[in-house]
């Protein structure tokens, strides 16, 4: 069941990367920031690969959660936190980096999209009998 959940999470993460990247681009335009990092095909490919990996991890972690609100709350908090850490890492090594606000909004959209994937199955607790 874990493999199936990881595969579905991988697919969900890949698909969720498109609205995530698009919402970050729109917000960057609204805030008069430079939306160029969000407009290239390379950015979409990188977002799809990273989204697939993160989506698989998130779906496996949230596999036991059946309450939809809890899944959305966890994913919409966890993905911006990871995005913030990535942003800080990029800032320490590269001076020109993507603005933090579009990155966090895009990460939140990604988390909500991945959290909308229903849990595929629940493992039974070990009873020892």
pLDDT tens digits for 12-29? 888 888 888 788 778 877
- State residue 124's pLDDT score: 47
Q: pLDDT-based confidence at 94, cuts 50/70/90? A: low
**Of the candidates 2, 9, 100, the residue with the CA atom closest to the CA atom of residue 53:** 9
Top-confidence residue, 124 or 19: 19
pLDDT greater at residue 75 or residue 103: 75
- Residues of the chain above pLDDT 90, percent: 0
- pLDDT tier at 128 (50, 70, 90 boundaries)? very low
Mean pLDDT, range 51-73, rounded to an integer: 84
Q: Spell out the residues 6+ positions from residue 51 whose beta carbon is closer than 8 angstroms to its own.
A: 13, 14, 16, 17, 20, 110
Q: How much is the pLDDT for 122?
A: 55
Contact 113, 58 (CB under 8 A): no
Tens digit of each residue's pLDDT (9 = 90 or more) over 23-58: 877 887 788 776 566 567 777 788 888 888 888 888
Query: In whole angstroms, what is the distance from residue 53 CA to residue 48 CA?
Result: 9
């Amino acid at each position: 069941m874990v493999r199936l959940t990881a595969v579905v999470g991988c697919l969900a993460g890949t698909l969720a990367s498109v609205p995530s990247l698009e919402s970050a681009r729109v917000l960057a335009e609204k805030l008069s920031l430079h939306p160029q990092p969000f407009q290239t095909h390379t950015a979409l490919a990188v977002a799809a690969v990273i989204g697939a990996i993160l989506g698989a991890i998130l779906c496996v972690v949230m596999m036991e959660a059946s309450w939809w609100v809890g899944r959305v709350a966890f994913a919409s908090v966890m993905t911006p936190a990871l995005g913030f850490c990535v942003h800080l890492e990029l800032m320490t090594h590269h001076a020109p980096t993507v603005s933090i606000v579009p990155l966090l909004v895009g990460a939140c959209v990604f988390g909500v999209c991945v959290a909308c994937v229903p849990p595929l199955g629940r493992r039974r607790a070990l009873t020892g009998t």
